[in-house]
Amino acid sequence: MGSTVTGWWARVQAWRRARPFAAGVCTIAAGLVLLAPPYAALQIGQVSIALQTLGGSASLVLGLALIACGLAMWTRPGSWPAPWLTLVLALAAVPAANLGALLIGTSLGMVGFALAVAWAPAPVADPAPEQPDAGPAQAEPRTEPIAMVGGHR
């Protein structure tokens, strides 16, 4: 049981490191934050508090689009439209979706954009260079300087 969990976790870690994982998490969280205020109602005793505005439809569209951008960052690492679309959507949420869901969603979207743009795939390790066969002996490298300052040797 322990080896299967360890093997599974190693595969998850390898998958996570091969893509801008934190950028996707921040972008999906930004989408969820944008979706929450227009559709959540807070009940305190007999009083129901709800933020029902015309921004509800904009919040729906922008929130779902940000979630799609976060998933795109995970499934297509290195593609350029998703981070830039994330930035545009996060900034568009400020006037359109309840002040960007109180600026929390906009901030998360901008952090997701920054992390996605800064992400680069890990460099592929080169195989070990082949050793030359033991053919003809190679000359020793020259170790004395070719010219000295002032012309003296």
Neighbours of 67 (CB within 10 A): 19
According to DSSP, the residues that pair with 50 across neighbouring strands are 41
Most confident of 3-12, 105-114, 119-128: 105-114
pLDDT, tens only, 77-122: 888 899 999 999 999 998 888 787 788 999 999 999 999 999 887 7
Which residues, 6 or more positions from 113, have their beta carbon under 8 angstroms from its beta carbon? 23, 27, 83, 84, 86, 87, 90
First to last CA, the chain: 73
The mean-pLDDT minimum among 15-24, 76-85, 115-124, 130-139 falls in 130-139
Question: CB-based burial of residue 85 (10 Å sphere; 0-12 exposed, 13-18 middle, 19+ buried)?
Answer: middle
pLDDT confidence of residue 62: 92
**How far apart, in whole angstroms, are the C-alpha atoms of residue 12 and residue 6?**
10
Amino acid letter, residue 66: L
pLDDT, tens only, 27-69: 999 999 998 877 777 777 888 766 666 667 888 899 999 999 9
Q: Does residue 125 surpass a pLDDT of 80? A: no
Amino acid letter, residue 112: G
pLDDT confidence of residue 1: 56
Number of H helices, E strands in the chain: 6, 2
The arithmetic mean of pLDDT across residues 2-27, rounded, is 86
Structural element, H or E, at residue 86: helix 81-96
Neighbours of 71 (CB within 10 A): 15
pLDDT confidence of residue 132: 58
Q: How many CA atoms lie within 13 A of 3 on its CB side?
A: 0
**How far apart, in whole angstroms, are the C-alpha atoms of residue 72 and residue 78?**
10
pLDDT confidence of residue 78: 81
Q: Can you read off the two tokens belonging to residue 94?
A: 């400020």
